[in-house]
Amino acid sequence: MATIAMVGAGYVGLVTGACFAQQSNTVIIIENNPNKINALLEGNIPFYEPDLKEMVTQSLKEKKLIFVSTIQEGLAYNPSVIFSCVGTPSLPNGAADLSYVKKMAEEIGQHLQDHIVIVNKSTTPVGTTRMIKKIILDNLAMRSIDIIFDVASNPEFLKEGDAINDFVNPDRVVVGTDSQQASTILFDLYKPFLLSSDQFLCMDIESAEMTKYASNVMLATRISFMNQLAHFADLAGADIEQVKRGMSHDRRIGPHFLNAGIGYGGSCFPKDVKALIHMGKEYRFPMTLVQEVDNINNFQRVWFINRMHAYYGPTLSKKTIGIWGLAFKPETDDIRGAPSLDIIEDLLQHDASIVAYDPIAQNNISERFGGLINFVANPSHVLIQSDCLIILTESAEFLRYLPSDFLHLADKVVFDGRNCFDPLKMANAGINYYCVGRNNTASKRQQQTTMRSSIDRKKNIINEASF
């Protein structure tokens, strides 16, 4: 049992705090937005994450989760660890905005009274944790006091929609620190979630900070690689799903993050890719591969939109376009970096009507686009009211639909940005189906079926003649 503090009641701070509170720790969450605190105290979570509301509600009842509005109030509880979980949004040049991090460090330096471990959990450029330490030391010097404290980097690896499971069943816990005491304190804090001490990876601060970027950009690279390969597959007459199947059986590669589609989105991959590109410029070492990952991802959306325009031409303005999926991925309401934003913007610019459905993210899209979009209660209503359909997430409820269900679309056209359905089955049902890297699949498999039928007929003739 420990008393710990979280600066920031955003996604990382709230998930981390709720999970630590479940282990009988007392967690002080510092949030300077009083409206957010009041909403949380009433059980209203500002974003969707499965099971989080129940965890927060339970911890509040047990008084294991406490909300305060200032760092000074948080430090008054004498926490042994304080986690920085403040936002680090992208600046126009791709760099991470560290203004919240700096302000947090200044306030800690202004009010620190005793030893504490200050942990940077926000995703920040290499060097940020040492910057935090310097800011605190400078503020202590202005107070003419000398307090020993430790700093550490502890990047988060939480997938939206599965964040709680990621926290309580981690692949690894990465900690960067120069202090054995800090390492021991953090190991004891994370120990209830570890199956083996080998999962606790302690390293130098800079390596821990870089590990976060390296991990996310590697996953983004796999996605962009498959998306570029998917275009080649269409030109060469291959099926990217079969290519993926052949690749994924190689244990060195595996099956994860090999899905071709409209590209990645969300709050992490786009931001971290751009931040690593910017860091490369600062160190005068251009991250050319990472830059191309970003270029390919941006191209995917342009390509998808152009395909739609190529099909409809000038008649698009007269069409009602249905959209399944508005968040950047299933099981979240997060629309940051979502492909739907670019698609909707383009459709509205071309005076198309939009009918949309998402199981979770509709309110967030509504706040952005207001009455310009007609939201409906279920996927079927989209099909009935639309000329064509655009699929932007692979939500489980979408996958339950049959090819014949899409006959409700007036034009019998589907633009699938997530390769949710079998091209041959869609073609056999009479649907014009456009996907990513599988656009020759239906005709090729139909030819193979015809060839097999011809061979089978010849075999039957030979067999009958032998009697």
Mean pLDDT per 10-residue section of the chain, whose length is 467 residues: 95 97 97 94 92 95 96 97 96 94 98 97 96 98 97 96 96 97 98 96 98 98 98 96 97 96 95 96 97 98 97 96 97 96 97 97 95 97 98 97 98 98 96 95 58 52 49
* pLDDT tens sequence across 344-398: 999 999 999 999 999 999 999 999 998 999 999 999 999 999 999 999 999 999 9
**Coil, strand or helix at 103:** helix
**Would you tell me which CATH number, out of the four given (3.30.43.10, 3.90.1300.10, 3.40.50.720, 3.30.70.20), belongs to the domain 3-203?**
3.40.50.720
Calculate the alpha carbon distances from 143 to 130, 135, 148, 349 in Å: 20, 13, 14, 57
Burial-class residue 357 by CB neighbours within 10 Å (0-12, 13-18, 19+). Answer: buried
**Choice among 19, 85, 268, 435 that is catalytic:** 268
* pLDDT tens sequence across 174-229: 999 999 999 999 999 999 999 999 999 999 999 999 999 999 999 999 999 999 99
Backbone angles phi, psi at 136, to 5 degrees: -65, -45
d(CA 139, CA 108): 8
d(CA 63, CA 57): 10
Residue among 279, 280, 270, 7 nearest 125 (CA): 279
Domains 3-203 and 216-444 share a fold: yes
Residue among 464, 192, 413, 201 nearest 311 (CA): 413
Residue among 459, 461, 419, 414 nearest 438 (CA): 419
Determine how many CB atoms are found less than 10 A away from the CB of residue 112.
21
Which pTM was predicted? 0.91
Identity at 7, one-letter amino acid code: V
Helix or strand run (H / E) with residue 196: none
Backbone angles phi, psi at 350, to 5 degrees: -100, 15
Backbone angles phi, psi at 258, to 5 degrees: -120, 20
- Give me the architecture of the 216-444 domain, per CATH: 3-Layer(aba) Sandwich (3.40)
Q: What is the dihedral of CA 406, 412, 418, 421, to 10 degrees?
A: 50
d(CA 459, CA 467): 13
Residue among 208, 247, 207, 197 nearest 225 (CA): 247
* Token representation of residue 72: 């000074």
Catalytic site includes residue 268: yes
Confidence (pLDDT) at 370: 86
Domain ranges (residues) in the chain: 3-203, 216-444
Report the share of the chain in percent with pLDDT over 70: 94
